Amino acid sequence: MLKIENLHATVAGKPIIDGLDLVVPTGEVHAIMGPNGAGKSTLAYVLGGRPGYEVTGGSVSFGGQDLLELEPHERAASGLFLGFQYPVEIPGVSYLQFLRESLNAQRRARGEEDLSGAAFIKLAREKAALLGMDAEMLKRPVNVGFSGGEKKRAEMVQLGIMDPKLAILDETDSGLDIDALRAVGHGINAIMREPGKSVLLITHYQRLLDYVKPDKVHVLSRGKIVRSGGPELAQELEREGYAEVAA
C-alpha cells in the first residue's frame, strides 16, 4: 500500500525528515509514536502534499504510484485521506455541503458519476450514526463552534464518507475525553478495518491503541524510524518514555 524509502524533507529550509524508511502493507494498521519535534506531523503533511514541505530526497510509492508526483487533490482521488491534528474552521460553508462537494470532486476525478443529493444525505446519516453523532450537526458551518471531540467525530464522518484506501491520521486522539476517544477508535475500526484498506496512525500516547489495535508500532525520532515492533512497543513507551526507548 505505502512504501517510503530514504525520505528526506525540509520545512522553511530546515531538515526535519532525515532518511525515513517505512512500509505499510495493505490491510494493516501501523502506529507512529515519538517525542515532540520528531517529525511526525511533518511526515503526514509531506504525504498529503501540503505546500511548504519540500521533499529533498527519497521516494514514496502509494498503490504502485509515485505519490510525490501527484498534486494534493490527485492524492486524495487516488484514495489517500489526511486527518488533521487541528481541523480547521470554515465559516459560511455547511459540513454537508463541504462533504458532498469533496466526495463528488473525487468521484469525478475517478470517472464516476456524482452522488445525488438524496443518496448523499442517506450516506452522511449512516456514517454520523456510526460515530454516535447527531446528523443535524452536519448542517452547521465546518467545525465552527464545535468542541474538540465534535471536530474529531465530524472528521471520522468525513473519513467514512470519503472511504479512502489509506488513512493518515495525525494525532486524532488530541484533546479527546474518554467517551470521544472510544467513539473515534470505534469509528476507525468500523471504517478502515476492511480488506484493501490501511491506516497510518500518528499519536503521542498508547491510549488510542487500546481501541485501535495496531499491527505494528514504529518509533520516530530525529526524523527517522529508530525502532519498530508489535503493540507491546507502545506499552513499553508508556512505561519507559521516549528518551529511554528511542536512545
Is 0.85 surpassed by the pTM of this model? yes
Domain count of the chain?
A: 1
Is pLDDT above 70 for 247? Answer: no
CATH of the domain at 124: 3.40.50.300
For residue 14, give its domain range: 2-245
pLDDT tops 90 at residue 2:
yes
pLDDT at 187 over 90: no
Q: 216 pLDDT band (50/70/90 cuts)?
A: very high
CB 235 within 8 A of CB 206: yes
